[in-house]
Copies of this chain bind each other. A is one copy, B any other.
Amino acid sequence: MIKVGVLGAKGKMGAQTCLAVDEATDVELVAQLDHEDDLAELTKASTQVVVDFTRPEVVMDNLEWCVANGIHAVVGTTGWDEERLAKLQSWLDAAPGVGVLIAPNFSIGAVLMMQFAAEAAKYYESVEIIELHHPDKVDAPSGTARRTAELIAAARRDAGSAPIPDATTTSLDGARGADIEGIRVHGVRLRGLIAHQEVLFGDEGGTLTIRHDSIERVSFMPGVLLGIRNIVSTPGLTIGLEHFMDLA
């Protein structure tokens, strides 16, 4: 049983993580801390892995302390840049047995969709992305759609793919979507939807569609658990859940 502590335990993702760790049979919830709590409780409870769903303002302090105390970390908190990653790397260099996973997306389905899209990219003449979300979302396209487009564009560059065909000469403004490194991306906003994405590949006579639908926060928990189970034996810095997924 891996002993797990949750930082940000009263937040939405943190609370969900506490439930998920509680239910799983191979991990044990030993500490639930929120912003007023003392990190020392983690060592008192012999925590092996922390899951951090806190805020950019506190995550660096949390990780410095955890790494120094030999506690592995699975991090869903955002706000990472080159400088922060370098600092974290330096702490890890000084603690050779400790592992930290930073995951921009804990949805295993989203990670699979991006991986498959990157693999399929070079075999198709055409590709477009449609992401569909609830209408309260403030940005378009979604971060996952942007990342997918970048991965596909990179795979096409590597394969020396020709530009995607498009004979459009007359168009209403916006009709053909946003252009991300040559990949067209469309953002739909509809009440009744949560978070969905379709990647469409096409070639003469056939198409391949990869679609991911996420309808509840709980859908991230298998990814969090996958992170916990793997980080204990993966020293150093790992960025992206896909490194713990045994793809192909």
Show the binding face of A for B, using Cβ within 8 Å.
Answer: 107-109, 112-113, 115-116, 119-120, 123-128, 130, 132, 135-141, 164-180, 184-194, 200-222, 245, 247-248
Contact of A245 with B205 at beta-carbon distance under 8 Å, contacts A175-B178, A215-B192 already known: no
Number of copies: 4
A200 vs B116: C-alpha distance when bound (angstroms): 15
Question: What are 19 pairs between A and B in contact, CB < 8 Å?
Answer: A112-B123, A126-B189, A128-B188, A132-B200, A136-B165, A138-B167, A140-B170, A172-B178, A175-B186, A176-B189, A186-B188, A190-B200, A191-B202, A203-B219, A204-B221, A205-B215, A205-B216, A205-B219, A208-B212
A216 vs B170: C-alpha distance when bound (angstroms): 24
Contact A208 B112 (CB under 8 A): yes
Contact A203 B109 (CB under 8 A): yes
Residue from the list B130, B203, B248 in contact with A108, Cβ < 8 A:
B203
Residue from the list B123, B187, B210, B245 in contact with A222, Cβ < 8 A:
B123
Ordered nearest first, which 6 A-B pairs have the shortest CB separation?
A: A248-B248, A205-B219, A192-B202, A206-B219, A205-B216, A190-B202
Which B residues are in CB contact (< 8 Å) with A185? Answer: 172, 175
Which B residues are in CB contact (< 8 Å) with A135? Answer: 126, 164-167
A168 to chain B, nearest CB (A): 5
Contact A174 B172 (CB under 8 A): no
Residue from the list B123, B128, B164, B171 in contact with A140, Cβ < 8 A:
B171
Contact A212 B221 (CB under 8 A): no
Contact of A119 with B177 at beta-carbon distance under 8 Å, contacts A192-B219, A206-B212, A215-B194 already known: no
Which B residues are in CB contact (< 8 Å) with A205? Answer: 192, 214-221
Which B residues are in CB contact (< 8 Å) with A213? Answer: 192, 206-209
A137 vs B212: C-alpha distance when bound (angstroms): 23
A124 vs B123: C-alpha distance when bound (angstroms): 26
A209 to chain B, nearest CB (A): 4
Contact A216 B204 (CB under 8 A): yes
Which B residues are in CB contact (< 8 Å) with A125? Answer: 191
